[in-house]
Amino acid sequence: MTHFSALSLLSNALTGHKNWREQWPDAQPKKAYDVIVIGAGGHGLGAAYYLAKEFGITNVAVIEKGWLGGGNTGRNTTIIRSNYLYDESARLFDHAVDLWEGLSQELNYNVMFSQRGVMMLAHNVHDVQSFKRHIHANRLNGVDNRWLTPEEAKAFCPPLNIESNARYPVMGAALQQRAGTARHDAVAWGYARAASALGVDIIQNCPVLAIRRGTDGAVEGVETTKGFIKAGKIAVSAAGNTSVVMETADVRLPLESYPLQALVSEPVKPVLPCVVMSNTVHAYISQSDKGELVIGSGTDQYTSYSQRGGLPLIEHTVAAICEVFPMFRRMRMLRKWGGIVDVTPDRSAILGKTPVKGLYVNCGWGTGGFKATPGAAHTLAHTVAHDEPHPINAPFTLERFQTGRLIDEAAAAAVAH
Amino acid sequence: MLLIHCPYCDETLPELEFAYAGEAHIDRPEDPSAMTDEEWRDFLFIRNNKRGTHFERWRHINGCARFFNAVRDTVSDKFLTTYKAGTPRPSDAELEELGK
């Protein structure tokens, strides 16, 4: 692997950029691996990287049905934050933010992590009370979050409309300054390059048809369109398609897959300095480094695998943005797309062991999986390597739906669902 | 925008009039106190999440307000049929006919 540095950039510039090499080879499957990760998104590639880097397991393959980072990793709105209410969630997402802070150095790949702050707007008394409760809970957990008056919110984000005659006036905001955005594609590419350099095979365009189990019930390997591949352990990190893959191993999950849409505007000069979210009018917005306004909101109401979603939701989203930022009314939208997110009943992820020996699952991230990428990847790798969960992901079991020990972020998460 | 046929109003109307209400044909337990934790988990939380032909409930919330059942392909989002609550689910042969 060529080490990227200012010097390598300069020397390649002087030679007309003709000598850049491919960043990782396109691998073909071997007959057997110690660990197979299904799904080459940020979570899956990251898990393979940490398995090789931290746990010394390098005989690993990441198998992807499409192209690397082409699922929700390349379709989300890149927001990173950790201001969750419950202790379990705060620990998991804050672990991810800790890893995000060093990720570019760790991977020698610029993931453009920008801690520009995430500001959540309060529009009514209920919002004010619940956000202040979040702020106090977060601070007790060591997660930064602070209250802003409408004037302070406007000073932090000048395009914001805080007029009192608005239909939903801004009554204040909760600001997590450590939160922000990152370049989503670079996360997948950076992990892929670093994992590949440590010996991980990344196999694209290779749908997994079934997980095969032996007579003792333990996993034996996966049937793919490129033939059978033997594996000692299998970690499934397939987002919206997790139910489909896991069903082939006779594991039924408490998941439903919904389309989550996003859209971007034409690129403009820097205008929006932070991420702004509003649950009450229900939309969120940030500006990419390319200049596009990146906009999203909640899922469509019906389950689907279509990666498309309906226009009524886009209309609702854009209406909300125009309410909060009247100056964006004349912006033209360039593209919209959808990704399929797997949602659990308590809106918290499932990350850990399954009833099947040698089979691990990382799913149920719903609408907020990108922010967790390094944390989920790291704790999944730990779980696979030790056959025991890391203390951080230990509460996120599949069994909680039987024991009733739910992590009920559906009511408590800092976003509406 | 999806166009959905309400079997009570006998009209095909835009998605905005309807609310999705989850997977269909999940029977309520007849003797709740006799159920194990595992059975409760299956009833409350486990879903087919089918990629393909999916049986689901919708409610004509901004119309007659009644619940009905639908069969939809979750890859194309195309509705194969809708039918009144309480009527049995269409057989595989009937669905194949509708899919043509």
The residue behind tokens 């033939």 is: A227
Phi, psi for residue A110 in degrees, rounded to 5: -75, 105
Report if residue B37 sits inside a domain: no
B93 within a domain of the structure (yes/no): yes
Query: What is the domain extent for residue B19?
Result: 3-27+46-98
In terms of CA atoms, which chain B residue is nearest residue A250?
Answer: B48
Cβ distance B37 to A402 less than 8 Å, yes or no, reads: yes
* H-run or E-run covering B90: none
DSSP-assigned states of every residue in A131-189: HHHHHHHHHHTT---EEE-HHHHHHHSTT----TTSSS---EEEEETT-EE--HHHHHH
> What is the tens place of the pLDDT at every residue in B68-83?
999 999 999 999 999 9
What is the dihedral sign for C-alpha A335, A338, A339, A343? positive
Predicted ipTM of the assembly: 0.96
Buried b (16+ CB within 10 A) or exposed e, B32-68: eeeeeeeeebbeebbbbbbbebbbbbbbbeeeeeebb
- Percentage of residues in chain A having pLDDT higher than 70: 98
Can you read off the two tokens belonging to residue B16? 């905005």
Q: Give the span between the Cα atoms of B35 and B38, in whole angstroms.
A: 8
A214: its two tokens: 């032996």
Residue A75 burial (C-beta neighbours within 10 Å; 0-12, 13-18, 19+) = buried
Radius of gyration over every alpha carbon of chain B, rounded to an integer in angstroms: 15
- CB contacts, 8 Å: B16 with chain A: 312
Q: Residue A38: which of A58, A57, A60, A62 has the closest Cα?
A: A62
Q: Tokens standing for A5?
A: 């540095």
Does B32 map to a domain?
no
C-alpha dihedral over A325, A330, A333, A338, to 10 degrees? 30
* Residue B36 resides in a domain: no
Whether residue A88 contacts residue A63, with contact meaning beta carbons closer than 8 Å, is answered with: no
Residue A365 neighbours by CB under 8 Å, 6+ apart:
A43, A239, A341, A342, A349, A372, A376
Please give the angle made by the CA atoms of A187, A274 and A379, to the nearest 5 degrees: 35
How many residues are listed for chain A in this entry?
A: 417
Instruction: Identify the CATH number of the domain in which residue B65 sits.
Output: 3.30.2270.10
> Largest alpha-carbon pair distance within chain B?
45
Task: Tell me the torsion sign for CA atoms A298, A301, A305, A308.
Answer: negative
Q: Chain B: give the shortest CA distance to residue A328, in Å.
A: 25
Q: Which residues of A165-183 are buried (b: 16+ CB within 10 A; e: fewer)?
A: eeebebbbbbbbebbbbbb
Residue B41 lies in a domain: no
Would you give the distance in Å from CA A155 to the centre of its chain?
A: 29
Q: Radius of gyration over alpha carbons of chain A, in Å?
A: 21
- Reduced to 3 states, what is the DSSP secondary structure of residue A382? helix
pLDDT in tens, A51-94: 999 999 999 999 999 999 999 999 999 999 999 999 999 999 99
Residue of A nearest to B50 (CA): A244
Number of domains in chain B: 1
Task: Determine, for residues A402 and B2 on separate chains, whether the beta-carbon distance falls below 8 Å.
Answer: no
pLDDT of residue A410: 77
Residue B39 domain flag: no
Of the candidates A395, A377, A396, the residue with the CA atom closest to the CA atom of residue A43? A377
- Euclidean distance between CA atoms A373 and A74, whole angstroms: 12
Instruction: Tell me which H or E stretch contains A93.
Output: helix A87-107
Residue A278 CA to residue A320 CA, distance in Å, equals 8
Is residue A255 less than 8 Å (CB to CB) from chain B? yes
Contacts of A243 in chain B (CB under 8 A): 47-49, 51
Residue B35 counted as domain residue:
no
Question: What φ, ψ does residue A180 adopt, rounded to 5°?
Answer: 170, -140
Instruction: Name the residue among B19, B48, B76 with its Cβ closest to that of A306.
Output: B76
Name the pairing type of β-strands A60-63 and A32-38: parallel
Residue A353 DSSP symbol: E
Interface check for A308 against chain B (CB to CB < 8 A): the answer is: yes
What is the CA B73 to chain-centroid distance, rounded? 11
Burial class (CB in 10 A: 0-12, 13-18, 19+), A40: buried
Residue A416's pLDDT is 52
Q: What is the pLDDT along chain A (417 residues), one digit of tens a residue?
A: 789 999 999 999 999 999 898 999 989 999 999 999 999 999 999 999 999 999 999 999 999 999 999 999 999 999 999 999 999 999 999 999 999 999 999 999 999 999 999 999 999 999 999 999 999 999 999 999 999 999 999 999 999 999 999 989 999 999 999 999 999 999 999 999 999 999 999 999 999 999 999 999 999 999 999 999 999 999 999 999 999 999 999 999 999 999 999 999 999 999 999 999 998 988 999 999 999 999 999 999 999 999 988 999 999 999 999 999 999 999 999 999 999 999 999 999 999 999 999 999 999 999 999 999 999 999 999 999 999 999 999 999 999 999 999 999 876 655 554
**How far apart are the C-alpha atoms of A278 and A173, rounded to whole Å?**
9
**Which residue, among B18, B44, B49, would best test binding to A if mutated, counting the most A CBs under 10 Å from its CB?**
B49
Domain-embedded: residue B38? no
Output the pTM of the full model: 0.95
Which of residues 282 through 301 in chain A touch B, CB cutoff 8 A? 301
Q: How far apart (Å, rounded) are the C-alpha atoms in residues A380 and A353?
A: 9
Cβ pairs A/B, distance under 8 A: 66
Residue of A363, A337, A321, A369 lying closest to A260 (CA atoms): A337
